[in-house]
Structure 1
């Protein structure tokens, strides 16, 4: 059942919370994704069966939450995630961040490490507004963004993807690969080799960049960005269980 949280910023966030044993698990979805996706639903079923505390939610402008997607940015969505974790969970949580959710989970880990018991990333996309979008823009697109405040990109999902200057400029203020990043808890990174959205090299870059004494990267040959095949979903669950077993509270 979907409930709603109004954040201090006035944004209305849709969420579902399951009570259970700790440490709880929080799923952070990707860019333009929502909490009805295959990974979020699979983890909900797993958490219910294990009586594990679990939280999934929609960022503002995503899914059932209020707001327009085009008006949001990484800072807004990271603030939404932190508001949900703060208001709806108790104690350190195991964060499971998919794609953009991986970036947001790293921002939370950097700013509020006391709320993080462990971290699982799935095709993590830290700094993607800069390394992906901005780096891939043509000079014409960069000019259009600066002149009009937005640029439209073709999308395989139908309507063009509108990217705003605010999204790009805010992303530059939230980079995590440009300064040291300590992760003093169990960290497991999952990455498919056939991911067309997040290059495998990004996973290696993140592994090389972060510091911590319990960090592992697992590559899955042939897995794509969705990482939602039955085998991938089973691997995600097994990885979370491994992190939970290694949490030091």
Structure 2
């Protein structure tokens, strides 16, 4: 599938209900070598982001498979964003990976997608599918962000709004429209926290982190490194990098990190 082809719709059925995900699955070329790639986007992001498209284009040049998709309530997928939770989006990721990829995969997670990548690796390994994990590349990893980077930072008025009304409309630094932070998102996030103990990635990990990231401070990424004690891990700190890490030089670093694992 050309990297600019429109996504197709994948029916997904889990204990959380039925829905359709917008997916773009580039098959491996004949004679293509190495693992496939799976792009796991961030909170309120989609598969058309610059990093995702650049990764797909690179995969096409190399001849390896690349899977991109939109979580429920994101991009062209079914559902409402405000109904989403970490557990729902993890189910989306696992369904897409199992339905549309084969063999070892490099999971490339950006921001929230890094948390999803680690949760997916744990779920795959727990199901006897650890051989599906070739490695993880994590960009500005927002692991446990609903608790560590949202709830713990919210003041009492915001917390009360969420607890009593079920949501708070948070101003966005990336656009004019605020977005909902729901009680369901916060409470479900607590069922998926990772930073309370050792974290297994079941493969090598490379982290890219901007030191001017105001959403995911670089100290948060270093905290993650401390918990990844049983698997090979390296981190690249980018002194002038922000949260998006979407400049040409940042995308080049992403491709280089993927290339090392793929």
Normalised TM-score (structure 1): 0.95
Question: Does structure 1 residue 191 correspond to structure 2 residue 199?
Answer: no
Aligned residue in 2 for 1:173: 191
The aligned runs of 1:1-249 (5 Å cut-off) are: 1=5, 2-8=7-13, 9-20=17-28, 21=32, 22-113=34-125, 114=130, 115-156=132-173, 157-244=175-262
- Asked whether the 8 Å contact 1:4–1:14 carries over to 2, the reply is yes
Q: Kindly tell me the number of residue pairs found equivalent between the two proteins.
A: 244
Greater CA drift, 147-156 or 66-75: 147-156
Structure 1: unaligned runs, 5 residues or longer: 245-249
- Asked whether the 8 Å contact 1:185–1:212 carries over to 2, the reply is no
Counterparts in 2 of 1:213 and 1:163: CA distance versus 1, 3 Å: closer
Per residue, is there more strand in 1 or in 2? 1
- Asked whether the 8 Å contact 2:200–2:231 carries over to 1, the reply is no
In 1, Cα distance between the equivalents of 2:145 and 2:232? Answer: 25
Structure 2: unaligned runs, 5 residues or longer: none
In 2, Cα distance between the equivalents of 1:102 and 1:242? Answer: 18
Instruction: Look up the SS of the partner of 1:120 in the other structure.
Output: strand
Q: CA RMSD in A?
A: 1.0
In 2, Cα distance between the equivalents of 1:214 and 1:148? Answer: 44
Greater CA drift, 172-181 or 210-219: 210-219
Instruction: Look up the SS of the partner of 2:237 in the other structure.
Output: strand
In 2, Cα distance between the equivalents of 1:243 and 1:194? Answer: 26
CA-to-aligned-CA distance 1:165-217 (integer Å, 9 cap, x gap): 00000000000111321223211011011111100001100000112342101
Moved over 3 A (4+): none
